[in-house]
């Protein structure tokens, strides 16, 4: 049920021809209340798509009635025409829902730099059709409508003590941190204040989507939105809700990692015994973005020297000659030197786990990435053709 698992939400996904596949390409999620609380985090890319510029204004007062999403076109670098398209999309939804356009979030995903009258007409038609088809079981269709190069839709739910969280996500490429990664819509029927919703969302994205670094490329359209209906009437304990939200966000991040374009290995990099959490993140990310390391994993080569070379470029506190590296349960490096033979490491499974022990403190962090494959290069070389 995805985003319609919590009480107080309806959704729909429809096909209007934005995608050549004929699959659903416009989704609408509506919060029926009684609360209409909204929070969102956005890409930190200075190059922002028109829906991001619009939605940043909408969420400022923490009131959100609905969100309209389209795939098949990013509506980015499309000038004033593109911003007018986003504005008209919100106005169309507001008119049909009898609410204010300033309370409608808008998201788009697809190819950058394209958009014309036909695109606008299809988005507006899709918005109208989706609102006409809104229902409490529409979460699955909505999650399919936001897919682009995704091979599967991504959904997650969490239930506890009378309240529920539901979510959907899209993303298979351009997965790199910037407060958010890809498009995500999260709903909950818990009772939260606007401040609580914003704080919980930022805390959850910080340790989930912000730690997903599949290819080091940051999108112009990334947005994670949280809509709060309060329909359960339950005010959850803060820590319990935050842990539930982290669970949902991490689950979606791992699903996105598993569907990364052309990847053959899902690499989980755990950095332990760091002097600070920031150090652990910096070290893990340096490995996740190292193309030599990622190519080695693609070739089933446990080349731990590339790990040490990568972390040596960071400003983190550690002694490079006192670091341990473990790959898929085999410690191949200890104190900056060889340990067990490389041939002891089995890299044939898709799941690949790398543990880096900095041996200087008590902090840790986990980064999620993928290998660098021929298929990734092929898919992205032909993306717009």
Residues noted as catalytic: 181
d(CA 112, CA 95): 28
**273 contact partners, CB below 8 Å, separation of at least 6:** 357, 358, 359, 360, 361, 362, 363, 364
* CA distances in angstroms from 114 to 22, 49, 188, 226, 255, listed in the order given: 19, 12, 34, 28, 28
Strand order in the sheet with 183-188: 37-42, 223-228, 183-188, 163-170, 154-160
d(CA 202, CA 73): 27
Both tokens of 42, joined, read: 């956005």
Both tokens of 8, joined, read: 């107080």
Go through 297-323 and write b for each residue having 16 or more CB atoms within 10 A of its CB, e for each that does not. Answer: bbeeebbbbbbbbbbeebebebeeeeb
d(CA 207, CA 214): 15
**84 contact partners, CB below 8 Å, separation of at least 6:** none
């Amino acid at each position: 049920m995805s985003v319609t698992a919590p009480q107080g939400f309806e959704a729909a996904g429809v096909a209007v021809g934005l995608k050549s596949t004929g699959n659903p390409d416009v989704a609408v999620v509506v919060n029926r209340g009684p609360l209409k609380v909204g929070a969102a985090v956005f890409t930190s890319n200075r190059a922002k798509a028109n829906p991001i510029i619009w939605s940043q204004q909408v969420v400022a007062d923490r009131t959100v009635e609905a969100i309209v999403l389209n795939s098949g076109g990013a509506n980015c670098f499309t000038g004033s025409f593109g911003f007018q398209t986003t504005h008209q999309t919100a106005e169309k939804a507001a008119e049909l829902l009898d609410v204010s356009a300033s309370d409608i979030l808008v998201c788009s995903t697809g190819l950058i730099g394209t958009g014309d009258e036909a695109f606008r007409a299809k988005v507006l038609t899709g918005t109208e059709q989706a609102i006409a088809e809104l229902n409490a079981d529409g979460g699955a269709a909505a999650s399919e409508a936001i897919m682009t190069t995704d091979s599967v839709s991504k959904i997650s739910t969490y239930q506890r003590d009378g309240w529920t969280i539901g979510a959907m996500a899209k993303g298979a490429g351009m997965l790199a941190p910037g407060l958010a990664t890809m498009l995500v819509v999260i709903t909950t029927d818990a009772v939260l204040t606007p401040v609580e919703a914003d704080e919980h969302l930022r805390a959850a994205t910080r340790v989930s989507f912000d730690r997903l670094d599949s290819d080091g490329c940051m999108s112009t359209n990334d947005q994670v939105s949280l809509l709060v209906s309060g329909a359960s009437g339950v005010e959850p304990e803060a820590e319990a809700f935050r842990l539930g939200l982290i669970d949902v966000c991490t689950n979606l991040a791992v699903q996105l990692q598993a569907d990364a374009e052309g990847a053959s290995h899902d690499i989980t990099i755990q950095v332990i015994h760091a002097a600070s959490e920031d150090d652990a993140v910096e070290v893990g990310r340096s490995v996740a973005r190292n193309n030599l390391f990622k190519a080695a994993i693609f070739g089933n080569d446990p080349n731990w020297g590339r790990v040490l070379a990568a972390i040596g470029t960071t400003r983190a506190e550690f002694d490079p000659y006192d670091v341990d590296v473990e790959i898929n349960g085999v410690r191949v490096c200890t104190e900056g030197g060889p340990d067990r033979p490389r041939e002891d490491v089995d890299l044939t499974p898709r799941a690949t786990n790398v543990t880096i022990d900095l041996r200087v403190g008590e902090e840790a962090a986990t980064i999620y990435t993928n290998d660098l494959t021929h298929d990734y290069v092929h898919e992205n070389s032909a993306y717009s053709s």
